[in-house]
C-alpha cells in the first residue's frame, strides 16, 4: 500500500499488535479461513477491544476476483456467488471485465432499517419503465465478505433473523408488491456485545458458528502494555502501523496458505465419532455443533500448516463451537467452556 493511500484512509489498529484476547482472534481467523463455519459472536466486558479487534481483521483479508462495477461482488467463476445479471451475461457469452479487490468488511449501524440492510425495489421505475429497479443494501455489499454488527444483542430481533437467514442460505430476497428480487449474500457474520445489556435469544445464538467470551485483562503489566500501545497508536498511527507491517504481512500470507490447504485436511473417523459423542453427552440440540466443530478443527489444522487434525486441535476449538449451545442452568457454577473441556477430557482420555 502506498504512503498516499495510507494517509488518505483511516488507519486501523494492527491485528498482530493486539495483546491477549487469543480466543477471539483465533475464532475470527478460523472464520476467514473457512467462512462456512458460520460466523462469530463475541461477548464480553465494555472496553475490552472487541470492536477494535474485529475491525483490525480487515487488514488481513486476502484479495478476491470480482466482476467490475457489480454491486454484489459477483464471483466470475461461481454461479452461487454471482448476480442474475452476471449469470445472464455469461449465458449469452458476453465478455466480463474482472478486477481484484480486498474482501470487504461492512459495518451494520445499530439503527439501520430493513430497507438499508436488505435493499429496496423502486416501484415507480418498475411500473412506469417495466424494469426491476433494485437499490442494493448492506447485504449486497457484504457478499463474499464480513458483516460486522456491534451491540448485536441490542439489534431488533427481526433484523437479526434476516441476517442469520441470509448468512445461512447465502441469498437475500426482497419482495414488494408482487415483485421479487434475489441476490447472493454469502458473508461471515460477526456480532459483538456486552452480556450486561441483554443476551441474544438461544435460537438466534445457536446460529452463530462460534462464540468467544472476552474478559478484562487482570495482569497489571499487560494492562500497562495495552495502554502504552493505544497511546503510541493515537500519537502516530502511520509509524505504529509500520512497526507491525512485517508481522501483518506474515499473518496475512499464513491465512491465504491455510485457505488453499483446507481442502486437503483430513479429520479421521474416530475423532468425528468422539466429537459427536461430546455433543451428545452435553445434550446439544441439533447437529450444528458437530458440523461447526469439524470445520473449525480442520481450519485450525490448515492454519498451523498441517493436513491431519490432532486431538489438541479439537481441544482448542471445541469450547468456542459448543459453549453457546448448552442449555442454561441458573444453578450451574462451572463455566460453560470449562464444562465442554471436562467432557472432552473424559471422552478423549
Q: Exposed, middle or buried by CB within 10 Å (0-12, 13-18, 19+), for 260?
A: exposed
- Top-confidence residue, 349 or 239: 239
Place 8 in a pLDDT band, splitting at 50, 70 and 90: very low
Whole-number pLDDT of residue 298 = 97
Q: Which long-range contacts (CB under 8 A, 24 or more apart) does 171-177 make?
A: 172/118, 172/119, 172/137, 172/139, 172/140, 174/118, 174/119, 174/120, 174/121, 174/134, 176/120, 176/121, 176/123, 177/121, 177/123
Q: Evaluate if residue 284 carries a pLDDT over 80.
A: yes
**Residues in a beta bridge with 102:** 63
Q: Evaluate whether 268 touches 309 at the Cβ level (below 8 Å).
A: yes
Rg of the chain in Å (alpha carbons): 21
> Do 143 and 73 form a contact (C-beta atoms < 8 A)?
yes
For residue 68, which of 27, 39, 113, 99 has the smallest C-alpha distance?
99
Between 129 and 291, residue with greater pLDDT: 291
272 pLDDT exceeds 70?
Answer: yes
Of 281 and 111, which is predicted with more confidence? 281
Is 262-348 in the same CATH topology as 3-62+103-214?
A: no
Q: What is the chain's length? A: 349
- Provide mean pLDDT across the span 53-66: 85
Q: Could you read off the pLDDT of 136-189 as tens digits, one per residue? A: 889 988 888 889 988 887 888 788 888 878 877 888 888 777 777 888 888 888
Cα–Cα distance, 109 to 301 (Å, whole number) = 35
Cell numbers found for residue 324? 453457546
What residues are labeled active site?
288
Task: Kindly tell me if the per-residue pLDDT of 98 is higher than 60.
Answer: yes
pLDDT at 6: 38
320 pLDDT more than 80: yes
Average pLDDT, the chain: 84
Pick the CATH number of 262-348 from 1.10.8.80, 3.30.429.10, 3.40.630.10, 3.20.20.70: 1.10.8.80
- Mean local confidence (pLDDT), 79-89: 83
The predicted model scores a pTM of 0.85
- The confidence band for 285, taking pLDDT boundaries of 50, 70 and 90, is confident
> C-alpha cell of 340?
465442554
Q: Residue 176: which of 225, 118, 261, 247 has the closest Cα? A: 118
The pLDDT value recorded for residue 127 is 61
pLDDT on residue 162: 83
Lowest mean pLDDT among 6-10, 26-30, 127-131, 197-201: 6-10
What are the sequence ranges of the domains in the chain?
A: 3-62+103-214, 262-348
**3-62+103-214 in CATH: which number?**
3.40.50.300
- For position 5, what pLDDT does the model report? 37
| Residue 119 φ/ψ, nearest 5 degrees | 100, 165
In the predicted model, what is the mean pLDDT of residues 89-112? 85
Amino acid at each position: 500500500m502506498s504512503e498516499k493511500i495510507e494517509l488518505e484512509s483511516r488507519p486501523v489498529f494492527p491485528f498482530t499488535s493486539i495483546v491477549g484476547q487469543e480466543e477471539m482472534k483465533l475464532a475470527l481467523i478460523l472464520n476467514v479461513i473457512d467462512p462456512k463455519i458460520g460466523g462469530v459472536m463475541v461477548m464480553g466486558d465494555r472496553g475490552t477491544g472487541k470492536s477494535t479487534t474485529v475491525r483490525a481483521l480487515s487488514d488481513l483479508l486476502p484479495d478476491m476476483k470480482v466482476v467490475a462495477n457489480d454491486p454484489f461482488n459477483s464471483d466470475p467463476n461461481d454461479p452461487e456467488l454471482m448476480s442474475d445479471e452476471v449469470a445472464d451475461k455469461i449465458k449469452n457469452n458476453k465478455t466480463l471485465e474482472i478486477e481484484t479487490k480486498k474482501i470487504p468488511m461492512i459495518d451494520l449501524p445499530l439503527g439501520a432499517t430493513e430497507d438499508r440492510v436488505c435493499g429496496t425495489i423502486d416501484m415507480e421505475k418498475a411500473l412506469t419503465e417495466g424494469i426491476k429497479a433494485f437499490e442494493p443494501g448492506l447485504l449486497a455489499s457484504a457478499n463474499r465478505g464480513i458483516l460486522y454488527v456491534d451491540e448485536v444483542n441490542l439489534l431488533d430481533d427481526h433484523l437479526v433473523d434476516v441476517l442469520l437467514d441470509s448468512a445461512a442460505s447465502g441469498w437475500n430476497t426482497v419482495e414488494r408488491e408482487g415483485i421479487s428480487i434475489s441476490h447472493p449474500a454469502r458473508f461471515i457474520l460477526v456480532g459483538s456485545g456486552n452480556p450486561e445489556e441483554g443476551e441474544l435469544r438461544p435460537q438466534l445464538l445457536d446460529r452463530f458458528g462460534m462464540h468467544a467470551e472476552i474478559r478484562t485483562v487482570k495482569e497489571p503489566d499487560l494492562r500497562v502494555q495495552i495502554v502504552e500501545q493505544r497511546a503510541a497508536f493515537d500519537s502516530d498511527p502511520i509509524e505504529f502501523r509500520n512497526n507491525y507491517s512485517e508481522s501483518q504481512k506474515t499473518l496475512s500470507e499464513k491465512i491465504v496458505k491455510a485457505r488453499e490447504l483446507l481442502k486437503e485436511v483430513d479429520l479421521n473417523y474416530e475423532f468425528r465419532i468422539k466429537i459427536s459423542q461430546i455433543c451428545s453427552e452435553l445434550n446439544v440440540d441439533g447437529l450444528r455443533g458437530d458440523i461447526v466443530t469439524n470445520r473449525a478443527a480442520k481450519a485450525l489444522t490448515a492454519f498451523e500448516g498441517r493436513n491431519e487434525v490432532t486431538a489438541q486441535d479439537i481441544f482448542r476449538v471445541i469450547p468456542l463451537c459448543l459453549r453457546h449451545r448448552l442449555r442454561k442452568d441458573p444453578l450451574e457454577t462451572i463455566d460453560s467452556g470449562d464444562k465442554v473441556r471436562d467432557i472432552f477430557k473424559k471422552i478423549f482420555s
